[in-house]
């Protein structure tokens, strides 16, 4: 497919400022720059041309820049928009961000700042279009056994998983920060290997108390200890012929590490209290968020076991190192959580998307998944804006305060024109309730107990209301 030249449309009635910026952009960014002095001119150009990025001044003859932005957002989801706002006018900045613009530029323009911002807009546009243009390829490669990722790093990982799975015997060590998808990768290895017809048995070594882990793994024979009235099969045996996934292996105590080494070397183990070794055919996939090499150097992890485990090391990059996967992951999670919803979430607007792409994601994909779930519950039927995200995801964006709403006179919340005899009382009250709950949840960063306190509700009542609105079960915290 032929590459189309990317284009920026500048809309500003001040032709000196507009032309000055246009000249600089053509020189510095090397893209097509089109100009309009009014919304009418801008709309004509948008009809005719393929616009990648639009930057509009708010003060235009006839219709305002706000009108233009609303129209563009409604009809051209892939045009990345910027608004020029008077320097430090927080109210206007907040207004345009709420409208869903990608970002704002100060007017009068600082050319360097404007060029950097608009060039970023073009990059973001590439990301959106990339998905469209390569739609077919993405559909084929966007996921690998439930692991979403289209970045080069994830594609490399998928290739490695396939190779490792074919090999079938070698031990795999998956390393990555918490929430990067280590268990998903382990399951994908099992699901693509010849062992897929047998059990995949996960064991979280950090979650099982030290004194129980041995019997959990290897089982025990009758009479092995007080209370062992009958023999019990361990997870190692349960995984026979299949895959044993040892999560958080770095937390395993040294005495057990020695027993695990025996399973790897001799392909046999002894149940607790047993005298006869039991043969077993398992593939071990281990994972950790710890630096095992350092644990070896510190003397808390056996060196021989480390080398045995890390025959094939797989490293999952943190989400902040593959930001181009973020829009795809968001899209997928919205689809998943929208399932069975009467009022599905429409998605995240450009401003919100930009905030989420910029966020560092210390909790990786798990954190992103939880955030999307929360927004699907709280913002059903809408496009989420940056102002609706919890503060930490979009810092510096003005948010309406709960107090302001609660003391506002009722007349100012419901325009007179609504009370014309056709009003649906339940819908309006429901919307007001949604808004209060949403604001309380946003203000408390999703803490239901705290939100219930702010609303003067019982926690269980709040959870019940959220459940009802989401139409699906919600974990209580």
Ligand X SMILES: Nc1ncnc2c1ncn2[C@@H]1O[C@H](COP(=O)(O)OP(=O)(O)OP(=O)(O)O)[C@@H](O)[C@H]1O
Assess 179 for contact with ligand X (CB under 6 A): yes
Nearer to ligand X, 50 or 183 (CB): 183
Of 155, 178, 460, 461, the residue at the interface with ligand X (CB under 6 A) is 178
Cα–Cα distance between 366 and 179 in angstroms, integer? Answer: 5
Nearer to ligand X, 369 or 434 (CB): 369
Q: List binders of ligand X among 12-51 (CB under 6 A).
A: none
Minimum separation from the CB atom of position 394 to ligand X (A): 22
Closest to 179 in 3D by CA, of 30, 8, 356, 316? 316
**Displacement of CA 448 from its chain's centroid (Å):** 21
The residue number whose beta carbon is nearest to ligand X equals: 181
Residues contacting ligand X: total by CB under 6 A: 16
Cα–Cα distance between 285 and 187 in angstroms, integer? Answer: 9
**Displacement of CA 41 from its chain's centroid (Å):** 38
Nearer to ligand X, 269 or 393 (CB): 393
Closest to 244 in 3D by CA, of 195, 303, 291? 195
Minimum separation from the CB atom of position 146 to ligand X (A): 6
**Displacement of CA 333 from its chain's centroid (Å):** 8
Of 100, 121, 149, 234, the residue at the interface with ligand X (CB under 6 A) is 149
Minimum separation from the CB atom of position 206 to ligand X (A): 9
3-state secondary structure 357-401: HHCCCCCHHHHHHHHHHHHHHHCCCCEECHHHCCHHHCCCCCCCC
Of 65, 176, 271, 327, the residue at the interface with ligand X (CB under 6 A) is 176
Minimum separation from the CB atom of position 297 to ligand X (A): 22
Task: List the alpha helices (DSSP H) in 204-325.
Answer: 210-218, 235-238, 254-266, 292-297, 303-309
Residue 234-263 contact track with ligand X, rule CB under 6 A, x = bound: -------------x----------------
β-strands 80-86, 53-57 pairing = parallel
Cα–Cα distance between 78 and 90 in angstroms, integer? Answer: 26
Assess 53 for contact with ligand X (CB under 6 A): no
Assess 183 for contact with ligand X (CB under 6 A): yes
Place of tokens 């709950």: 437
Nearer to ligand X, 247 or 251 (CB): 247
Assess 180 for contact with ligand X (CB under 6 A): yes
Place of tokens 């709309």: 43
Task: List the alpha helices (DSSP H) in 142-196.
Answer: 152-167, 182-192
Cα–Cα distance between 100 and 350 in angstroms, integer? Answer: 6
Nearer to ligand X, 40 or 336 (CB): 336
Of 148, 244, 345, 389, the residue at the interface with ligand X (CB under 6 A) is 148
- Piece of 180-188, 439-447, 455-463, 467-475 that binds ligand X (CB under 6 A): 180-188
- Which helix (H) or strand (E) segment is 199 a member of? none
Assess 369 for contact with ligand X (CB under 6 A): yes
Nearer to ligand X, 82 or 361 (CB): 361
Assess 182 for contact with ligand X (CB under 6 A): yes
Assess 327 for contact with ligand X (CB under 6 A): no
The footprint of ligand X (CB under 6 A) covers 147-149, 176, 178-184, 247, 289, 365-366, 369
């Amino acid at each position: 497919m032929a590459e189309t030249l990317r284009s920026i449309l500048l809309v500003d009635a001040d032709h000196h400022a507009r032309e000055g910026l246009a000249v600089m952009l053509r020189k510095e960014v090397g893209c097509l720059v089109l100009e309009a002095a009014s919304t009418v001119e801008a709309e004509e150009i948008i009809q005719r041309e393929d616009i990648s990025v639009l930057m509009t001044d708010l003060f235009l003859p006839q219709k305002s820049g706000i009108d233009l932005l609303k129209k563009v957002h409604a009809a051209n989801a892939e045009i990345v928009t910027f608004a020029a706002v008077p320097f430090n006018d927080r109210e206007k900045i907040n207004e345009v961000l709420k409208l869903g613009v990608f970002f704002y530029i100060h007017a009068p323009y600082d050319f360097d700042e404007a060029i950097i911002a608009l060039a970023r807009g073009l990059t973001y546009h590439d990301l959106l279009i990339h998905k469209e243009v390569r739609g077919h390829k993405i559909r084929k490669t966007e996921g690998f056994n439930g692991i979403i990722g289209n970045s080069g790093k994830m594609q490399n990982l998928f290739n490695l998983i396939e190779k490792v799975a074919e090999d079938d015997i070698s031990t795999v060590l998956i390393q990555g920060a918490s929430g990067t998808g280590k268990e998903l990768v382990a399951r994908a290895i099992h699901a693509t290997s010849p062992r897929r017809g047998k059990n995949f048995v996960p064991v979280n070594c950090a979650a099982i108390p030290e004194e129980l882990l041995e019997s959990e793994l290897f089982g025990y024979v009758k009479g092995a200890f007080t209370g062992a009235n009958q023999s019990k099969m361990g997870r190692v045996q349960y995984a026979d012929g299949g895959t044993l996934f040892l999560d958080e292996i770095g937390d395993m105590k040294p005495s057990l590490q020695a027993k695990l080494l025996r399973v790897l070397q001799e392909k046999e183990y002894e149940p607790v209290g047993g005298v006869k070794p039991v043969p077993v055919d398992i593939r071990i996939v281990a994972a950790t968020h710890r630096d095992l090499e350092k644990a070896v150097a510190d003397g808390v992890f056996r060196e021989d076991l480390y080398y045995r485990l890390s025959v094939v090391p797989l490293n999952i990059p943190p989400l902040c190192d593959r930001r181009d996967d973020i829009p795809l992951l968001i899209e997928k999670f919205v689809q998943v959580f929208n399932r069975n919803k009467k009022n599905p979430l429409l998605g995240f607007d450009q401003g919100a998307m930009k905030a989420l792409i910029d966020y560092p994601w210390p909790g990786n994909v798990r954190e992103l998944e939880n955030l999307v779930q929360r927004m699907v519950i709280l913002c059903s039927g809408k496009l989420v804006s940056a102002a609706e995200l919890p503060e930490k995801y979009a810092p510096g964006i003005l948010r309406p305060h709960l107090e302001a709403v609660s003391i506002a006179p009722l007349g100012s919340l419901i325009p007179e024109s609504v009370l014309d005899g056709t009003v649906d009382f339940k819908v309006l009250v429901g919307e007001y309730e949604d808004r209060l709950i949403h604001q309380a949840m946003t203000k408390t960063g999703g803490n239901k107990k705290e939100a219930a306190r702010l609303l003067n509700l019982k926690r269980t009542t709040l959870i019940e209301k959220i459940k009802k609105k989401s139409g699906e079960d919600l974990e209580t915290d």
